[in-house]
Structure 1
Amino acid sequence: MAHPSTKPSHPTPPPQQQPTAPDAVPEPKTHTHIPKRLILSYLIDWILIIGTALTGYAFSTLPPNHHPFSLTDANISLPHKKKDTVSTAVLAVVSVIAPAIIIAFLWEWNVGWMGLGIAVAGTYLATQGLKDLYGKPRPDLLARCDPDVAAVGGFAVGGLGGRVAGAPTMVTWEVCRNPGDEVRKDGFASFPSGHASLSFAGLMYLALWLCAKFSIGFPFLAYSPFSQDLRRQDRGSIRNQGAAPPVYMLIVAFVPIAVAFFISASRWFDYRHHGFDIIFGSVMGMVFAWIGFRLYQLPIMRGAGWAWGARSREHAFFMGVGLPSHVAADNWATVGDKSAAENRARDVDLEMARPYRMND
């Protein structure tokens, strides 16, 4: 007896291939080619950052202007300490090398280093240039100088000493019997404080960078508290839109700032700088740190820890007259062709923290 056939009496036709839509979006490629033009653009950036630092070093080798001083000035009569509490080598390690290593161990090291480089190199150049320009005597200048008090008259350049009782006599640095670089160069380098400016440039940048990466900041609302949207909301629900980060995260963020304050304060109790020199250097370092951070990183509480994207190939080197504004959506990073009205609408929505929709 024959076995029944296992084949179906009505075989299933093969599945028909679905037509491909003409406007179907292709699968994104997993490998992204970086244009050589863009690589060259960032290579030039690094060359300029390193060149800025080298220019600052060149300034540091030059003798500064020598501001005349009085041998009776109490502000420059403090004792001279042979060793700094924070040496220049320790300053470089703490303010530059350590932040660079921390950034490299986490992520986005290239833009992280570029921001750090701009902050530190710009601060270093400005600090050394101002030191040479001002030539302000240090608080311990007279201890370094060992002036020849018997020959004061031969080096007098101002003041009414000798003609009015109690009036000071302003003399030049040649009155010093110590003609070495300790007096000729370093003795007139009080303004601004390099330790203060560089420590805040590197460590404040690191603090901002850590706050961005770990979302350490004050709770905030996306809209103005006086807007109609919030007025329609329940007050109890508004307070649940934000919360303070844990205190240990604040410690992580503020440790670099605390170290910078300590380094700056050490220049006061080491008698190396006047108070204003330290304050000015600290503020200058903070300014450069903020510039370096904001050039490459999104705002701390609105950027989710990410850096800005790379420049586009078309805008790798130049944006001239007639090209889109840097405050519009089609800036250095945009390669698409969008209308100005659409860009302005997108910018408004971004500033108000609302999603942009074409049909709004």
Structure 2
Amino acid sequence: MPLPFLSSKSPTTSRGGRATNDMSTSKRSRRMRIFLSYAPDWALTIVLWGIFYLLDKVNGYRRLFDITDTSLAHPHADPERVPVWLLAVLCGVVPAIIIIFTAAIRRTFWDAQSGLLGLILGLGLVATFTNIVKITVGRPRPDFFARCILPDNLTENPLHGLTSWTVCTQTDDSQLQEGFRSFPSGHSSFAWSGMWYLILYLAAKMRINNRTGYTYKSWLLLAPLSCASLITISRTMDYRHHATDVIAGSLIGIAGAWYSYRQYYPPISSPQSYKPYSPRIPKDEEIPLHHRPNRRSSAEHMLGNSNGIVEGGSHHHTGGSSQGTTNGQPLAPEGRDGWSTVDIGDRGAYGVGNGNGGGRDNDYGEGKETVQRPVERSV
């Protein structure tokens, strides 16, 4: 009875290795498992945005204030220099388009998935956290008096105390409610989250730390940096926020962007920073790892045999020590027992996939375009 893996109809690799007949079935199964493993992540980001909008309707805390405080006496600017819709386009839609365009050029679907998921995660976390702090702190905005519309006969605070919002004559409660949401700045946190994530993404793709010193990389990264800075400054120009509000919002946005980016990409200091992490579902359909002995010079081979020495810990092949040299050159790094190994992420070395030795196996840009996750071993 012929064995399945010896069947003439079994697909073979470019190096003569044979793949199992259920290879394509395993790949389809793995894609489905990858989809199911990341579906909760996408669902959670949607829930976060839902929480953000629900929190926006909450009537939060309202602090007491001093009616002689000139920092609250600025005029109310209408319209704003950067409205909410423009903020969403500049710091949400534009980075998403750039990520999709970059991934399309590199022909890797996995990079687009990782980049977009990290971007949405960062924006969702930052927006939700900022709104929670806003409604809890209840700090008056610089234009609070213009929103509150204080009575003309109110010229001083109560004896031994401060003034409450109940003295306001403003009939629009939503306008008054927004007047107590100064700290931290939501525009600043959202802008720096989207733009800082884009800076990290572009810096990694351009390999900014490869020591070549091309100046165009710095000029390109100046664009998102300037965008976030100008949006932040506009909030003080419109008297919507105090200086400490925009500083705190910017720090929250940067921290959220960095955290979200590192969930799916290595640090930009890494030599493989331009690659996303591989899927959390391991490649269980990969063919076994092949081992190849290092080639040594004929003189060394004859010398080893004449002395009756079997090197490299193998009884059948001669292999060099990991600290040895070949023809005066250092040997390549070796695996166990003196054998050199091929990186399992280099799928092109095996010609796995389409059966023609091309190395492209329709794994959505995985393989060479991802950084392999470390294998978790149970104790």
TM-score, length-scaled by structure 1: 0.68
Q: 1:173 aligns with which of 165, 186, 194?
A: 165
**Partner amino acid for 1:120?**
L
CA contact (8 A) 2:149 2:170 kept: yes
Once the two structures are superposed, the pairs formed by residues 115-264 of structure 1 within 5 Å of their partners are: 115-150=118-153, 161-162=158-159, 169-217=161-209, 242-244=211-213, 246-264=214-232
CA contact (8 A) 1:152 1:175 kept: no
**RMSD, matched Cα:** 2.9
CA contact (8 A) 1:139 1:272 kept: yes
Q: Matches of 1:212 and 1:203 in 2, distance apart?
A: 14
Pairs aligned (count): 268
The alignment status of 1:89 with 2:89, answered yes or no, reads: no
The alignment status of 1:275 with 2:218, answered yes or no, reads: no
Alignment-derived partner of residue 39 in structure 2: 43
Q: Matches of 2:333 and 2:260 in 1, distance apart?
A: 28
Q: Matches of 1:314 and 1:135 in 2, distance apart?
A: 51
DSSP 3-state at the match of 1:129: helix
CA 1:150–1:304: 2 relative to 1, 3 Å = closer
CA contact (8 A) 1:131 1:191 kept: yes
**Partner amino acid for 1:191?**
F
CA contact (8 A) 2:62 2:180 kept: yes
Alignment-derived partner of residue 74 in structure 1: 70
Q: Matches of 1:84 and 1:40 in 2, distance apart?
A: 42
**Partner amino acid for 1:204?**
W
CA 1:355–1:300: 2 relative to 1, 3 Å = farther
Alignment-derived partner of residue 311 in structure 1: 280
Q: Matches of 1:84 and 1:294 in 2, distance apart?
A: 34
Q: Matches of 1:70 and 1:183 in 2, distance apart?
A: 19
Which moved further from structure 2: 170-179 or 85-94?
A: 170-179
Measured against aligned partners, the alpha-carbon deviations of 1:22-73 in whole angstroms (never above 9, x if no partner) come to xx84359688323433312211110001111110111112122111111111
Alignment-derived partner of residue 297 in structure 1: 265
Alignment-derived partner of residue 336 in structure 2: 358
CA 1:356–1:298: 2 relative to 1, 3 Å = farther
**Partner amino acid for 1:142?**
F
Task: List gaps (5 residues or longer) in structure 2.
Answer: 1-11, 104-110, 289-331, 339-379
Alignment-derived partner of residue 60 in structure 1: 56
Measured against aligned partners, the alpha-carbon deviations of 1:301-350 in whole angstroms (never above 9, x if no partner) come to 321511000002699xxxxxxxxxxxxxxxxxx9x9xxxxxxxxxxxxxx
CA contact (8 A) 1:77 1:139 kept: yes
Task: List gaps (5 residues or longer) in structure 1.
Answer: 1-19, 164-168, 220-241, 316-333, 337-353
Q: Matches of 1:129 and 1:263 in 2, distance apart?
A: 21
DSSP 3-state at the match of 2:87: helix
DSSP 3-state at the match of 1:185: helix
Q: Matches of 2:152 and 2:172 in 1, distance apart?
A: 18
Q: Matches of 2:273 and 2:260 in 1, distance apart?
A: 18
Deviation of the 1:293 alpha carbon:
0.8
CA contact (8 A) 2:82 2:231 kept: yes
Deviation of the 1:298 alpha carbon:
1.9
CA contact (8 A) 1:120 1:201 kept: yes
Q: Matches of 2:38 and 2:72 in 1, distance apart?
A: 46
CA contact (8 A) 1:38 1:313 kept: no
CA contact (8 A) 1:216 1:253 kept: no
Q: Matches of 1:201 and 1:247 in 2, distance apart?
A: 25
CA contact (8 A) 1:197 1:285 kept: yes
Q: Matches of 2:53 and 2:251 in 1, distance apart?
A: 21
DSSP 3-state at the match of 1:192: coil
CA contact (8 A) 2:48 2:128 kept: yes
CA contact (8 A) 1:141 1:183 kept: no
CA 1:89–1:356: 2 relative to 1, 3 Å = farther
Q: Matches of 2:267 and 2:47 in 1, distance apart?
A: 28
